[in-house]
Each structure stands twice: as structure tokens, then as C-alpha cells.
């Protein structure tokens, strides 16, 4: 009986830590997908930075509540590159972990260049 009183709380805590890790891993995948989709849209012909930000936010909203907070930024880099950054915090079921997640995607912007 004494063993059960000691073992069961430890097993429950271990189970909660495993679930927390799975939530963090899922949040990482969602953030990577949002950054990738936002970058793809921002780089596409006729897309642009506002469209990339909007697409990344659509992906984040479609994921449900896997993130407590999220932020999407996009910029145009020198050399015709677009960069989309998505960051946030993974949903926490335990009181102490504040697990940050982020992803950055960079790629060349597609544009029409007439022949010379």
C-alpha cells in the first residue's frame, strides 16, 4: 500500500511530462508548417509579404489551440529573398514550463524578368 502511495503520483507526473512533450512537438510542427506556407505564398508570383503573413495566420488558426500565443512577421531581404518568421509558446498543461517554438523560412521571390 505504501508503495502505491509513492509510485502513483510519480507515474502521473511522468505521464503529464510525456503529454507536455507531445504538445510541444506538435506546436513545433504547426509553427514550421505555418512559416513554410507563409513563405511559399510570399514568394509566389502575385503573392507578397501581406499575403504570406495572412496565409501563415490561417494555418495557425486551423491548428486549433496548440499555441498559447503566436506572432508572424515577414520581410523582404536584399537579393530578392522573402523571410517569414513564426514564433510563439506551446500550450502548457503543467504550471512551470514555458516552451517557446519558432521557425524561419527564407526563399527567393518569384518574379517575371523579360528577356534582354
Give me the pLDDT at residue 96, please: 82
DSSP string of 7-75, one letter each residue: HHHHHHHHHHHHHHHHHHHHHHHHHHHHHHHHHHHHHSTT--HHHHHHHHHHHHHHT-SSEEEEEEEEE
At 59 the pLDDT is 95
Could you count the other beta carbons within 10 Å of the beta carbon of residue 41?
A: 24
Inter-residue contact 66 to 90 (CB < 8 Å)? yes
The pLDDT, as a whole number, for residue 115 is 82
pLDDT of 11 reads: 96
Residue 81 has φ and ψ, to the nearest 5°, of -110, 145
108/103 Cα distance (integer angstroms): 17
pLDDT at 45: 85
pLDDT for position 69: 87
Q: What is the structure's pLDDT at 73?
A: 97
Q: In angstroms, what is the C-alpha Rg of the chain?
A: 20
For residue 110, the model assigns a pLDDT of 87
pLDDT, mean of each 10-residue run, the chain (116 residues): 89 95 95 96 91 96 87 93 95 88 94 78
C-alpha cell, 95: 504550471
**pLDDT on residue 65:** 76
Residue ranges of domains in the chain: 2-108
Amino acid at each position: 500500500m505504501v508503495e502505491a502511495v509513492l509510485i502513483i503520483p510519480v507515474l502521473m507526473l511522468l505521464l503529464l511530462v510525456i503529454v507536455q512533450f507531445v504538445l510541444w512537438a506538435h506546436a513545433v510542427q504547426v509553427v514550421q508548417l505555418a512559416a513554410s506556407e507563409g513563405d511559399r505564398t510570399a514568394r509566389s508570383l502575385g503573392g507578397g509579404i501581406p499575403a504570406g503573413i495572412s496565409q501563415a495566420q490561417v494555418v495557425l488558426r486551423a491548428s486549433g489551440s496548440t499555441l498559447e500565443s503566436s506572432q508572424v512577421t515577414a520581410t523582404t531581404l536584399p537579393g530578392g529573398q522573402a523571410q517569414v518568421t513564426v514564433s510563439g509558446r506551446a500550450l502548457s498543461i503543467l504550471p512551470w514550463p514555458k516552451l517557446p517554438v519558432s521557425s524561419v523560412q527564407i526563399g527567393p521571390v518569384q518574379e517575371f524578368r523579360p528577356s534582354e
